[in-house]
Structures are given as structure tokens and as C-alpha cells.
Amino acid sequence: MPDKSIAMDTTHTAIVKRLMELHIRQSECYHRLIDVLERQQVFIETGSEESILAHVGLGEQIIAEIWTIQKTIDPLEALSPADTPLDSAVLAIKAALDSLNNQAMAQSEHNKMLLSKRMAAVRSEITILENNPLAISARRSLYAQVNTPTLIDIRG
């Protein structure tokens, strides 16, 4: 009977150790994501479209990595015996991960709002330019100067 208890403790220790490693890796991903989102905010405010797109792609890659790690964490947590509580360090890092997730979500929502405002401003500029009387008359005068043939020589 003691052998089963030792095996259970060893398994639990291995699970806790692996969970800690995965949670730390996930935490690092969240820190990178928050950094990317903060830099993205600067690019939204300055209007650098290429940089915005690059950071959106980078953010998506980091989010995919976070989800991949989470897919590994879920089964490990399910393997942990129900009567054995998770290590306090694992619980502390899970709480920190929740906080980082909330921070990333808030920054993402803030960037989304800034991007919506920026797009509205660009649409407004386009509308103003389209309805500008000088631009309309310039377009008309460009086409007014084109010589339109009246006779066609079919003999060649």
C-alpha cells in the first residue's frame, strides 16, 4: 500500500512541476502580447498602417501560442487528483495569468476603440475630398479637355 502512495505523490509532484513550467511559459506569452498591444496602440495613434498590420499578425501568433499551451494545461489539471489541492504556487501563478489576461483584453479593447476612431476619421477625410467642389471640377475639366473624334476614317 505505501508504494501506491509514493507513486501518487511522485505523479502529483510531476504534474505540479509541469503545470508550473507551462504557466510560466504562458505568463511570458501574455507579457509579450501586452507589449505588442501597447506598441500597436502607438502605431494606431501615429497612423502607421503597415506597422499596425504587422503587430496584428504578431499578436495573433502569440494568442495561438497561448491557446496551445492552454490545451496542454487543461488535461494536466484534470489528471491532478481531486482530493489533492494544487500547489499554492500554481494557484498564485494562475491568478497572475488571469490578471494578465484581463490586462491584455483591456488593451485590446482600447486599441479596437482607437482603430475605430482612426477609421472614422479616414472615412470622413475621404468623404470631404469626394465632395470637394474643387476636386469635382478638376475631374470634370480633365475629361472636358479630351478631344472626342467626330469622324472615323475606315479606309486606313
143 belongs to a structural domain? no
Q: What is the model's pTM?
A: 0.70
HEC string of 68-88?
A: HHHHHHHHHHHHCCCCCCCCH
Tell me which residue range forms the domain holding 75.
Answer: 2-110
Closest CA to 111 of 36, 15, 54: 36
Number of folded domains that form the chain: 1
pLDDT in tens, the chain (156 residues): 456 666 667 777 888 888 889 999 999 999 999 999 999 999 888 877 888 888 888 999 999 999 999 998 888 887 766 556 666 777 788 888 999 999 999 999 999 999 899 889 888 988 888 787 776 666 665 555 556 666 676 776
pLDDT given at position 1: 46
Query: Do the domain assignments include residue 150?
Result: no
Q: Is residue 95 part of a domain?
A: yes
Q: Which three cell numbers stand for residue 63?
A: 494568442
Alpha carbon distance 38, 52 (integer Å): 11
pLDDT recorded at residue 99: 92
Is residue 83 in a domain? yes
C-alpha–C-alpha distance, residues 36 and 149, integer Å: 59
Q: How many residues does the chain have?
A: 156
In a domain, 141, yes or no: no
